[in-house]
Amino acid sequence: MPGNKGVIYEGPGRVEVRATDYPDFELKDGPGVNPANVGRKLPHAAIIKAIATNICGSDQHMVRGRTTAPQGLVLGHEITGEVAEVGPDVEFVKVGDMVSVPFNISCGRCRNCKEGKTGICENVNPDQPGSAYGYVDMGGWVGGQAEYVLVPYADWNLLKFPDRDQAMEKILDLAMLADIFPTGFHGCVTAGVGPGSTVYIAGAGPVGLAAAASAFLLGAAVVIVGDLNKERLAQARGFGCETADVSEGEPAQHIERILGVPEVDCAVDAVGFEARGHGREAGTEHPATVLNTIMAVTRAGGAVGIPGLYVTGDPGAKDEAARQGSLSIRIGLGWAKSLSFTTGQCPVMRYNRQLMMAILHDRVRIAEAVNATPIPLDQAPRGYEEFDKGAARKYVLDPHGMLAGAA
Quick check: 73 binds ligand NAD (CB under 6 A)?
no
Identity of the residue, 173 or 179, whose beta carbon is nearer to Zn ion in the bound complex:
179
**What is the DSSP secondary structure assignment for residue 342, as one 8-state letter?**
E
Q: What, of Zn ion, ligand NAD, none, does residue 287 touch, CB below 5 to 8 Å by kind?
A: none
Q: How far is the CB of 45 from Zn ion (least distance, A)?
A: 15
Choose, by CB under 6 A, the member of 140, 143, 206, 383 that binds ligand NAD: 206
CA-to-CA distance for 255 and 211, rounded, in angstroms? 17
- Which residues pair with residue 225 across a beta bridge? 201, 243
Identity of the residue, 8 or 79, whose beta carbon is nearer to Zn ion in the bound complex:
79
Q: What, of ligand NAD, Zn ion, none, does residue 314 touch, CB below 5 to 8 Å by kind?
A: none
Pick the closest to residue 315 from 55, 69, 76, 16 (CA basis).
69
Quick check: 110 binds Zn ion (CB under 5 A)?
yes
Quick check: 275 binds ligand NAD (CB under 6 A)?
yes
Q: What, of ligand NAD, Zn ion, none, does residue 326 touch, CB below 5 to 8 Å by kind?
A: none
**Helices (H), ranges, 250-351:** 251-259, 289-297, 320-323, 331-336
CA-to-CA distance for 243 and 116, rounded, in angstroms? 34
Quick check: 202 binds ligand NAD (CB under 6 A)?
yes
Judge whether 72 and 15 are in contact, CB under 8 Å. Answer: no
Only one of the segments 138-146, 151-159, 233-241, 270-278 lies at the binding site for ligand NAD (rule: CB under 6 A); that segment is 270-278
Quick check: 346 binds ligand NAD (CB under 6 A)?
yes
Judge whether 214 and 352 are in contact, CB under 8 Å. Answer: no
Identity of the residue, 93 or 264, whose beta carbon is nearer to ligand NAD in the bound complex:
264
Binding mask 131-170 for ligand NAD (x = CB under 6 A): ----------------------------------------
Quick check: 189 binds ligand NAD (CB under 6 A)?
no
- Helix or strand or coil: residue 265? strand
Q: Establish how many alpha carbons lie within 13 A of residue 76's alpha carbon, considering only the half-sphere containing its beta carbon.
A: 36
Quick check: 90 binds ligand NAD (CB under 6 A)?
no
Q: Which of residues 365-404 bind ligand NAD (CB under 6 A)?
A: 390
Choose, by CB under 5 A, the member of 37, 58, 67, 198 that binds Zn ion: 58
DSSP letters, 182-224, are HHHHHHHHHTT--TT-EEEEE--SHHHHHHHHHHHHTT-SEEE
Choose, by CB under 6 A, the member of 45, 138, 290, 369 that binds ligand NAD: 290
Q: Which of residues 167-226 bind Zn ion (CB under 5 A)?
A: 179
Which strand (E) or helix (H) includes residue 181?
helix 180-190
